[in-house]
Amino acid sequence: METMAKTRSSGFDHRDLGWHRLCGALVGIQAGLVLATAPFYARMGVQVHWATALPMAGVCGFMIVGWAYYATSRTTPVERRMAEALLLFALLSTLSLIFPPAQYLALALRRPLIDATLYRADRWLGVDVQACAAWTWQHPAIHQLLVRAYFTLRWQWLLIVPALAVLNQRKALWEYAFHFHVCLVITLVCFALFPAASAFQYLGFESAVSQGTFITHFEGGRAGTLGPLDFGAMEGLISMPSFHVAGALMVTWAVRRTWLLWPLIVVNTLLSASTFLTGAHYMVDTIGAFVMVVGSGYLWRRWGARLLDKPARRIAALAAAA
């Protein structure tokens, strides 16, 4: 009781520790995704070994418990940042329990593929991703550089939240979380309505990034022959827009006020180029990702930032006074 009284007398409340209107909106987005997808797994014949999600669910639960501990008993600026980072990490981790199986549900709708349209758009732009992949195969050093850049995204997603927390970039953290949620929903809806098999399948060439698992899951998912899915074995299935590129753009934008900006510009320029130079994506997938992130930025200014601004201003003033 004494600690809580101290917290109230210092002007802090749950909003200063991450539980504010924006956080509630993101939880609402996740709840909407669950409600929109959960009833249809059995109906669409998509089998998931839900028990394989327990380790990640346990991690999310551990972070929520950590947040609750700091939120109810700690008041120093560092502890408040730690509490908020734990809550935000839990939010993003929860998406990894919702989104991967939802891709397979969208695939099971068996909507007509749009690869022919994407291929024509690429040719109109003067880009031939099959020729790009062939060129990449012919240059082993460039091939290795592009593949390594392509797979840095998982590490960027893992490290961006603690990095921004340490650098005290609170608003950037929540803006990143907002873009992640919004772009994920847009990507999933686009995939459900306008799926694409990707350039390497449509044109019949070997991507310079290994795609064997993707092909098995994509074809099996559309045919209904894939069988039960484990969370650890699920594959990213979406071509247009490229969430790989969107994720790189979100991370780079989130660190724009820190020293991490220029290193990430270099890495993520290579990552974005790798998506079509390796033949993993059409060039227009990359353009689509850019348009999507710009649109999410507009929504952030019109809606997301307004849900955060008041508590952000308050905690900044209190931190300056501490």
Q: pLDDT tens digit string along 228-262?
A: 888 888 888 899 999 999 999 999 999 999 999 99
For residue 198, give the nearest of 158, 229, 239 by alpha carbon: 239
Highest mean pLDDT among 46-50, 61-65, 149-153, 312-316: 149-153
Mean pLDDT, rounded, for 207-231: 86
Under 8 Å between Cβ of 72 and 16: no
| Three-state secondary-structure class, residue 48 | strand
pLDDT at 204 over 80: yes
How many other CB atoms sit within 10 Å of the CB of residue 283?
Answer: 22
Number of structural domains (the chain) is 1
The per-residue pLDDT for 18 is 66
> Interhelix angle for 140-150 vs 261-277, to 10°?
110
Q: Does 2 have pLDDT greater than 50?
A: no
How many angstroms separate the CA atoms of 155 and 152, rounded? 5
Confidence check: pLDDT of 189 > 70: yes
Boundaries of domain holding 169: 2-321
Rounded to two decimals, the pTM is 0.87
**Number of Cβ atoms within 10 Å of the Cβ of 37:** 19
Is residue 13 scored above 70 in pLDDT? no
For residue range 76-128, list pLDDT tens digits in order.
Answer: 777 777 888 888 888 998 998 899 999 999 999 999 999 999 999 999 999 99
106 touches 184 (CB < 8 A): no
The whole-number average pLDDT for the span 195-200 is: 92
Q: Which pLDDT value is given to residue 75?
A: 65
